[in-house]
Amino acid sequence: MGIFTRRTDTAVATVDPALAALTGEYTVDPAHSSLGFTVRHAMVTNVRGSFGSFEGTLVLDGRDPAASAASLDVDIASVDTGIADRDAHLRSADFFDAEAFPAMTFRSTAAEQLGGASYRITGELTIKDVTRPLSIDLEFQGSATDPFGNERVGFEGTAEILRSEWGLTWNTALETGGVLVSDKVRLAFDVSAIRKAD
């Protein structure tokens, strides 16, 4: 089930009233969401990490998906790969330079339905004051009212970037060929958002 359901047997697009009722502004719940990444290490294995501190807003429009929007602010210093020395290196000027550039941000510029529960949100990702376009493919996971009366929606998403395009170029060559850290980074989003009170 998607946020937006359109009939193909009529000239006029229709929207499921229950899904249209999800229209509104939502706050990302960091306690039940995750922002992760995966990078190839030494050409032979993957290193996974996440950011533990972030905040964001979703604006869903059940009648016009193109009017939906998203914003996200991530605390770079909250990067966590499970290894303290590696995390410190990521925060250093070799990578994110968290002291000079403490936040990573995403601001959407367009949204579209790809079919069913699949969507794509396109926007601008800023890292170290470098802003470049990014498209994120999302799957709508549904909606529910939690035991505390909060109306929630859920999305899972993925994207790939080349970190060098945002000025994250540190690397070292391997004796056997190749480099220590891949340029390609896979991003993963698992978002639960709570509807704001009217």
Q: What is the pLDDT of residue 4?
A: 38
Q: What is the pLDDT of residue 194?
A: 98
- Per residue in 160-190, pLDDT (tens digit) is 999 999 999 999 999 999 999 999 999 999 9
Query: What sign does the CA torsion over 163, 167, 170, 173 have?
Result: positive
The structure tokens listed for 181 are: 């850290």
Q: What is the pLDDT of residue 47?
A: 97
Distance from C-alpha of 73 to C-alpha of 120, rounded to nearest angstrom = 19
DSSP conformational letter for 177: S
Cα–Cα distances (Å) from 40 to 48, 49, 178, 179, in that order, read 9, 12, 11, 10
Q: What is the pLDDT of residue 21?
A: 83
- Per residue in 71-98, pLDDT (tens digit) is 999 999 999 999 999 999 999 999 999 9
Sequence-ordered alpha helix ranges (H) in the chain: 17-20, 84-91
Q: What is the pLDDT of residue 116?
A: 82
Q: What is the pLDDT of residue 115?
A: 84
CA-based angle 131:135:140, to the nearest 5? 135
Query: What sign does the CA torsion over 138, 49, 25, 31 have?
Result: positive
Residue type, 93: A
Q: What is the pLDDT of residue 7?
A: 37
Q: What is the pLDDT of residue 63?
A: 82
DSSP letters for 165-195: GGT-----B-TTSSBSEEEEEEEEEEEEEEE
- Pick out the chain residues at pLDDT < 50: 1-12
Q: Tell whether pTM > 0.85.
A: yes
Distance from C-alpha of 137 to C-alpha of 155, rounded to nearest angstrom = 10
DSSP conformational letter for 48: E
Q: What is the pLDDT of residue 18?
A: 63
Distance from C-alpha of 74 to C-alpha of 106, rounded to nearest angstrom = 9
